[in-house]
Structure 1
Amino acid sequence: MILKIYFIIEEILHILSFPFLLFLSIFKPLRKEIMPRLFPHSFEGKRVILHGASIGEVKSLFPIGREIKKMGIPLLFTSATINGVNTALKENFPAQLFPLEFSLSHFFFFRKLKPVAIIVSERDYWMRFLNGVKKRGGKVIVVNFSIARKNFFKKISISLLKEMNPRFFARNEEDRDFLLNLGFKEIKILPSLKSLSLSPSEEKLERDIFLAVSVHEEEFTFIKYAFEKLREKTCVQLVIAPRYMKRLNHLKEIFSEFNVSLYSERKENFDVLIVDTYGVLNSFYPRARAVFVGGSIAKRGCHDLLEPSSFKSPVLFGPNFWNQKDVAEVLIKENGGRVVKTPEEMVSVLISIFKGDENAPSGERAYSVYEKIRASARAGLEEIIKEVSWLS
């Protein structure tokens, strides 16, 4: 009943916004995102849908996608962003933007498609989309489930999923207990599948490089201050990858007193190298002596900790790791990573790493954490594949 009321209110709001969306579609940059979601293409026949919000979530579903593909079961990746869609297409998976939450858009999307199941990574729950799969006989499966801030509104939104009878694979016991308390049943614990989608280099080619990845605008000055202090004590280069490319100019301004270069310029000599190209971080991880992961100082939530760990890099991150708690706590315990709350604290930890102090976070220990999580995830993947193969 609650879900029906939700859909009625949502549909009214969407009808009111329809003229505005059509107006926005006049502009070319927005047209590419709005029109394919407003009037989506419909793939034909039975398919398993794999849905991720953007690049990271889509990548985490690749191990499942590869196994489904091996079994000869047709599949379809959907994403909320063009970057997410392109990431799946590069791996030769069929992919498209998922439909807007309009009845009309869903009519077009499901016109020929017969969903066997939808597998959603993490928290990108679009109720009408999931309900559309359920109404057509498909199973709803949620993997990599983790809710860091379990407030009243999160409880209400997750509770709406009950009518779809989803199968949850939670990342830790705390998330499993949260779901059990809401009345969901048969919750399995499965570490992040992202560990299975990584392809780390076997060789570690360390240079005096400090790598900062997925750095938000609020963290630029934090990194700059730490780098200034670090340069007073060691001849280190900084490679920094902003979370959003549209912040490149601001980032260049902040580091203007240094010899700044862009990755696309292919210059060898630099103090600070700004990564302005997607998909190239794997070439820097093997060369980095240490990696800072952004979102953790800016109160956005820490980004992926497993990727740098898989390249045997000690990992630094701020105190806001609530969305990566399961990985962060193990890294801290095993001394493969360290929480840094101030630039001074970061400098102190980095110097200990560069000097090779025994008590400093170790890349080998970080890699050991990655290997353990990967082994557990591989075992859990088999359970998901069994469920999908049975449904098909």
Structure 2
Amino acid sequence: MSSRDDEKGLAAEMAELSVYASDPALTQGRLYGTSQSPTRSEFQRDRDRIIHSTAFRRLQYKTQVFLHHEGQHYRTRLTHTLEVSQMARSMARALALNEDLAEAVALAHDLGHTPFGHAGERILNDKMAPFGGFDHNLQALRVVTRLENRYAEHDGLNLTWETLEGILKHNGPVTDAVGLVDIPAPGDLEPQTHASLEAQAAAIADDIAYNAHDIDDALRAGLITLADLADVPLVGPFVREVEARWPDIAPNRKAHEVQRRLITAAIEDVIATTDAELADLQPQSVADVRAAERTLVHFSPGLAAEEKALKAFLFEKVYRHEEVMVPVRESQALVADLFDQYLEHGSMPDRWGEAWRVSNDQTSRARIVADFIAGMTDPYAIDQHAALFDAKTRIG
């Protein structure tokens, strides 16, 4: 196929999208100029750069809910990310949005996560409180703009403005943008406005994936049973339907039938609700979406209330279950130990290079330490702790 044919193909693809979809041909660009690709749009190039990054590969060994070594069938941060990406693409397609941008944002949304999931993030944020704090969304921006260093001509992945904006704002406008002063971008990311619909699709896909797949993992772990879910809002009707229709099939098959019904219902609800929002607002461009005073891609009020109740159930029965909390407490202590040791003694100056040697204030050195710890996989963090403290933990 000739480059002219490729260009026609990309143009035809955009012609099928809505007026409020993000157009890669109208991107606000990259920080560093690049030659155009004859076969890929700018958002496709972003997606590919993210997939080939070191930070993306590390997600394979980072905790989702259950620590990576506890079983090969539990989700990791990587498998969660891939599931979010699939759902984001599905919704983007149904809403006539740019699937590639939705996918790129979904693939990058967790690149800033620490080892040991949210437990590691909480401790790192506590330790960084005197130095500007720690947030995994801002950390993802640091990863893709500063910390990935494989290119000959620049640090970072040199992503488009739209992908960077989506990483920052997929959960909504950012009112506290202190950490953005250190983020190199091709232009103002406009933190106080809403993100594109593609980024909003990635955000709601994250919520849907969390609910459905945390239920699946919790059932596998034996923390809950299907009977426990029978009266829980949102998921309960699907449990009763599956139990009535297939009372004698294996529990894992029942769990899958419940999970796929839950995912389908949530996605279809989001699509219908978003269609109604768009019909009401009638945006004529992606700029109109950003200027809207509300999120447009979301659950209906009824499903949102049920989803909130389901989250409350999972919080009580799964996330705060003692079998989960024991390794959570140990992982938090491990991260705290590493941070204190590195900041006080500079245990890895050769690894941190010139940035550490020329840093003459505690704030910049603390950020170097936070970057280093956030980039660790679970096994690497455990190994580093064992080497520094000669200690064996339950999570190791």
Q: TM-score, normalised by structure 1?
A: 0.29
Q: TM-score, normalised by structure 2?
A: 0.29
Where relative contact order (Cα < 8 A, 6+ residues apart) is larger, the structure is: 2
Higher strand share: 1
Higher helix share: 2
